[in-house]
Amino acid sequence: MMTKINVFRIKNALLFTNCVANTFGILVIVLILRRAGDLIAPEVILLANRIHMFFLPLSLIIPIAITVGYEKPIRRYLEMQYRNEPVSEEFTLIARQRLLNEPIFLIALDFIIWLTAGCLYSGVFWLNGADRESIGEAFFQNIFTGIITVTIAFFVLEFIFQRRVVKYFFPKGGLSATVKTFRIRIRTRLLALLLAINIVPMMAIYGDVSKIYSSGTGIHPNIFQLEQAIKMEILIFFCVGIWVVFLVSSNLTKPFKNIIQVLQNIKKGNFTSRVQVTSNDEIGYTGDTINEMTHGLMERDRIQQSLYMAKEIQQNLVPRKNVKINGLDMAGRSIYCDETGGDYYDFIPMAGRGDTKTGVAIGDVSGHGISSALLMATVRASLRQRASLPGGIAEMISDVNFQLARDVANSGDFMTLFFLVIDTMRGRLEWVRAGHDPAMIYTPENDSFQELVGPGIALGVTADGCYEVDQLQGLSKGQIILLGTDGIWEAQNRKGTRMGKDPIYEVIREHAAGGAPDILQAVFDRLETFQQGAKREDDITAVVVKIETPTAGESN
């Protein structure tokens, strides 16, 4: 929470920093001129001092007034934040634009001031009849002061901007996304660093040497003054260079350390860390990108957790274990290519239809994923609820289809279904086929396979779909019924070859003596061997039913 003192400090941070930079530039020049004073004519120094009395106060007052006017939206924004007043998005954008552009604005203002000083001093010297060398020297010294001031201001303003000011305007980063602002790139910083520790010192030394040649007294009488001036300049610029390098390294290394720390936290699965973005250069853009990435990872993690929960719920919708009931050994399994899927199987008690009747359902929703899982859950609930009511299975499937068609109207979603009722008392099968692949029944006695075919459209395609019941009489002990989805026989290996149904027939023959769980496992093992690690493209579901007890019409 901001206090009144904090608001005052933030509002005047850049203004105060710029004034300090200008003052520092003046002090550097004063030291240099003092060491090289013997090389300048006394009358020129006297005239310059007279101009100082008027220009130096104005050179501080005018920039301060211009800067305060420029910062008006920035100061107003801080006051509104301190008072918890609502701030419009439009005004926030204006304040942020002014803030991001202020370092460049202040640097340009500083250079204009010293360029004006160069023109003013050299012009006054010319009007007072000064020699050509003095006029040129006056212009050079002021421009040189401006270069020093601008260079120092560049680094100090950036340092204060990143450490003290920007977090109050961009608490969540996003500097690079602000339009109509200058970008101070890393390359620009390095060029400014080159100017500060190389070019500026060379200009100072060149100026001293030029004074000797222009003095007309020769080199030897002034060699001592030149030596002293160069020593002073080396000391000053050495100290300034160390300071500037510290500012640059601090402005670069601190953001990188923050970025590395956030990336390490992401690696550990901590997606709550955020990069503190304080610049609108490449580093700031990288920080914003990482923050966006982290937000996306957090959202993906949340979705992943939801998917795991949905997977757990969906797995609870299918039979949790294999069952033996009414002389039937039944086993089923679903494998989804995503966390959730649209395949479905169920063992349903047929209420009111005799204790010896058992319903077996298998279905396949178009597509796979969350939407298919939701549709699968809807059909399961409707089918189980309708199975508890009186009526034939054709009527039951018609009612489920009617409700589903109303729910998925115009969506293009549908579900194929094969619903089988096994009556062990009468040795009879009844089934309704709603667009699903036929079930198959294997009779070991004569080593024959028969498909349980029949007409019928998929559920949800049309509300007035008509369904018929097909029957098969004369069940016998040891017969095996397989219900599956097309994810099994349409599975492909690495060469793109489909598996087909023949390998399934072979597996059933080879394991006919085993129980339903053993046969089911053999089917999935054969599928895995065939695919050879190829990516699964569809959900896979299979149900195996083996008739264990003698039925009506069968001899003991």
% of the chain surpassing 70 pLDDT: 86
Residue 41, pLDDT score:
56
Q: Note the pLDDT tens digit of each residue in 6-27.
A: 888 888 888 888 888 777 766 7
Confidence of residue 550 (pLDDT cuts 50, 70, 90): low
Residues facing residue 483 across a β-bridge = 543
Three-state SS at 372: helix
| pLDDT tens digit sequence for 242-289 | 877 787 787 788 888 888 888 888 888 888 888 888 888 788 888 888
Confidence grade of residue 153 (pLDDT, cut at 50, 70, 90): confident
Residue 553 vs residue 481, higher pLDDT: 481
> Scanning the structure block, which residue is given the tokens 């369904």?
467
Most confident of 290-299, 354-363, 438-447, 462-471: 438-447
> Would the pLDDT of 556 be above 60?
no
- Average pLDDT (452-460) is 91
The DSSP secondary structure of 391-445, one letter per residue, reads: S-HHHHHHHHHHHHHHHSTTT---EEEEEEEEETTTTEEEEEEEBPPPEEEEETT
Q: Quick one: pLDDT band at residue 552, thresholds 50, 70, 90?
A: very low
Of the listed ranges 284-293, 334-343, 347-356, 379-388, the least confidently predicted one is 347-356
Structure tokens at 68: 């305060």
Other Cβ atoms less than 10 A from the Cβ of 341: the count is 27
Mean pLDDT of 305-315: 71
Query: What is the per-residue pLDDT for 269?
Result: 81
Cβ atoms of residues 3 and 168 within 8 Å: no
Q: Which H or E run includes 49? A: helix 42-70
Over range 231-243, report the average pLDDT: 73
Question: 458 φ, ψ to 5°?
Answer: -60, 155
Q: In this structure, which topology does domain 321-547 adopt according to CATH?
A: Phosphatase 2c; domain 1 (3.60.40)
CA distance to 325, 357, 393, 512, 522, per residue, from 427 (Å)? 15, 10, 17, 20, 27
CA dihedral 186, 187, 192, 198 (to 10 degrees): 120
Please write the tens of the pLDDT for every residue from 97-119: 999 999 889 989 988 988 988 88
* pLDDT above 80: residue 379: yes
Q: What is the pLDDT averaged over residues 333-357?
A: 77
Instruction: Report whether pLDDT(448) > 70.
Output: yes
Please give the Cα distance from 270 to 277 (Å, whole number): 19
Q: Is the pLDDT of residue 553 over 50?
A: no
Domain extents for the chain?
Answer: 4-250, 321-547
pLDDT at 295 over 90: no
Q: CB within 8 A of 465, min separation 6: which ones?
A: 398, 401, 405, 434, 456, 457, 459
Whether the per-residue pLDDT at 351 is higher than 70: the answer is: no
Mean pLDDT of the chain: 82
Residues 272, 266: Cα–Cα separation, whole Å: 8
- Is residue 467 within 8 A of residue 397, CB to CB? The reply is yes
Concatenating the DSSP letter of every residue in 266-306 gives HHTT----------SSHHHHHHHHHHHHHHHHHHHHHHHHH
- When pLDDT is cut at 50, 70 and 90, the band that residue 39 belongs to is very low
In this predicted structure, the answer to whether residue 45 has a pLDDT above a threshold of 80 is no
| Residue range 520-530: mean pLDDT, rounded | 93
Average pLDDT over residues 32-46: 56
Average pLDDT, stretch 449-459?
Answer: 92
